[in-house]
Amino acid sequence: MENIQRITGHLQAKDTGSRSFLSLVPTGDGGCYFIDEEQEYWRTYRFVEGARTYDEAASVQQAHEAAAIFGEFQNLICDLPGPRLHETIADFHNTPARYRRFHEALERDSHGRAGLCRAEIDCALSFEDGAGVLVALQDAGDLPERITHNDSKLNNVLFDERGDHAICVIDLDTVMPGLSLYDFGDLVRSATTSAAEDAADIADIGMRLDYFEALAQGYLGTAVNFLTETEIRHLAVAGKVITVETGVRFLTDYLSGDEYFRVHGPRQNLDRCQAQFALAASIDRQMADMQRVVAGIAAGLKRTNQAG
CATH number at residue 129: 3.90.1200.10
Neighbours of 230 (CB within 10 A): 13
Contacts 24+ apart (CB under 8 A), 122-126: 123/247, 123/277, 124/99, 124/244, 124/247, 124/248, 124/251, 124/277
Q: Is residue 9 a part of any domain in this protein?
A: no
Answer yes or no: are the C-beta atoms of 183 and 152 closer than 8 Å: yes
Q: Is residue 33 a part of any domain in this protein?
A: no
* Overall domain count for the chain: 1
Answer yes or no: are the C-beta atoms of 182 and 93 closer than 8 Å: yes
Q: At what angle do helices 235-255 and 180-191 cross, to 10 degrees?
A: 70
CA distances from residue 294 to 81, 123, 299, 301 in whole angstroms, order as listed: 31, 27, 8, 11
**Which residues, in sequence order, are CB contacts of 68 under 8 Å at separation 6+?**
166, 218, 219, 221, 222
pLDDT tens-digit map of 36-73: 999 999 999 999 999 999 988 989 999 999 999 999 99
DSSP H or E stretch at residue 52: strand 51-52
What is the amino acid identity at position 248?
A: V
Strand arrangement, sheet containing 157-160: 51-52, 157-160, 166-169
Q: Is residue 30 a part of any domain in this protein?
A: no
Range of the domain at 101: 50-307
Q: Is residue 96 a part of any domain in this protein?
A: yes
With H, G, I as helix, E, B as strand and everything else as coil, classify residue 146: strand
Per-residue pLDDT of the chain (308 residues; tens, 9 = 90+): 999 999 999 998 886 665 668 999 999 999 999 999 999 999 999 999 999 999 889 899 999 999 999 999 999 999 999 899 999 999 999 999 999 999 999 999 999 999 999 999 999 999 999 999 999 999 999 999 999 999 999 999 999 998 789 999 999 999 999 999 999 999 999 999 987 776 767 888 999 999 999 999 999 999 999 999 999 999 999 999 999 999 999 999 999 999 999 999 999 999 999 999 999 999 999 999 999 999 999 999 988 877 76
Q: Is residue 92 a part of any domain in this protein?
A: yes
Answer yes or no: are the C-beta atoms of 121 and 36 closer than 8 Å: no
Q: Is residue 135 a part of any domain in this protein?
A: yes
The full length of the chain comes to: 308
Q: Is residue 1 a part of any domain in this protein?
A: no
User: Going by DSSP bridges, is the β-strand pair 157-160/146-148 parallel, antiparallel, or unpaired?
Assistant: unpaired
Q: Is residue 294 a part of any domain in this protein?
A: yes
With H, G, I as helix, E, B as strand and everything else as coil, classify residue 207: strand
pTM over the 0.85 mark: yes
DSSP H or E stretch at residue 167: strand 166-169
Start-end of H helices in the chain: 2-14, 60-77, 95-108, 118-131, 133-139, 180-191, 209-223, 229-233, 235-255, 268-285, 287-307
